[in-house]
Amino acid sequence: MNKKLLDAAGYRKGLGSGIATPRGMGAEPWTLGALEPSPEISKLILSALDQVSMVSATDGAGNFEYVNDHFCRTAGYSREELVGANERILNSGFHSSEFFEELWATLLAGRIWSGEFLNRARDGRLFWISSVIIPFRKEGPKYRRADHFISISTDVTGRKKDHSAGMATISHDLKNPLSVIVMNAKLIRKLAANDPIDAARAATIRTQSETVDEAAGRLGKLIDQLLR
């Protein structure tokens, strides 16, 4: 971007109280004073987001400072129940500690994090969300670390269920022929053991059928890995 269009702080000139446009995210979290839309614009933004997205704000300890109506409807909690509560209230237990360590390392380094969560609603229902979390810090030279976080999320439970159903169908279609192969390999071994043929031939049949078994097992595991 042409530097003449930017002010000393790196934002577009001439926006007044409108939304400032950062020069670039990099590894530097936005300051809380960097985005100062007018009250009217703020209402419009929140109204638009509330129609399609779950929006929340948390402090550095992960305590909710703000949740929008869409967030409350999806999670099944009232705003009064959520504000002041820790985000662990939604923890489904699905994600590993390593998952959260990577998330916090990214945010505290001042970088935007994006990914998917499996959360638990107030009534015990599980729901998937796709989230973008943006780190912010207070203004001033002594504030170098992000201590506020804005999350914008979309409920993707339906998409995940459709995907899972599709994967289950594909898994069945691929693994059903494998089960037939394994069953027939076992039958061949059984017939060879009971058939009055020479020992060398019986040993060959047994070895070859066991090879088929092993190959089918490896293919079954590969299918499971590909469909996860």
C-alpha–C-alpha distance, residues 60 and 40, integer Å: 28
CA 157, chain centre distance (Å): 11
Rounded to whole angstroms, what are the CA distances from 7 to 2, 10, 19, 20, 22? 11, 5, 14, 10, 11
3-class secondary-structure state, position 53: coil
Q: Scan for tokens 């040993």, then name that residue.
A: 203
Q: How many domains does the chain have?
A: 2
Query: In this predicted structure, which of 63-72, 128-137, 152-161 has the lowest mean pLDDT?
Result: 152-161
Backbone torsions φ then ψ of 125, nearest 5 degrees: -70, 140
Distance CA 77, CA 69 (A): 10
Q: What SS3 class is residue 26?
A: coil
Final residue before a domain boundary, out of 125, 155, 185: 155
Domain final residue, candidates 155, 172, 197: 155
Indicate the pLDDT class of residue 116, thresholds 50, 70 and 90: very high
pLDDT digits (tens, 9 = 90+) for 173-217: 666 777 777 777 777 777 777 666 667 777 777 777 778 777 777
Task: Please state the rounded mean pLDDT for residues 100-108.
Answer: 91
Instruction: Give the residue from 102, 133, 155 where a domain finishes.
Output: 155
Of the ranges 149-153, 159-163, 180-184, 197-201, the best mean pLDDT one: 149-153
Per-residue pLDDT band at 50 (split at 50, 70, 90): confident
Q: Give yes or no: residues 130 and 191 share one domain.
A: no
pTM for the complete prediction? 0.56
Instruction: Show the domain range for 16.
Output: 3-155
- C-beta of residue 92 within 8 angstroms of C-beta of residue 120: yes
Are the CB atoms for 187 and 88 separated by under 8 Å?
no
pLDDT tier at 103, thresholds 50, 70, 90: very high
Q: Residue 137: pLDDT band by 50, 70, 90 thresholds?
A: confident
In the predicted structure, residue 9 carries a pLDDT above the cut 70: no
**Side chain identity at residue 17, one-letter code:** S
146 plus 202 within the same structural domain: no
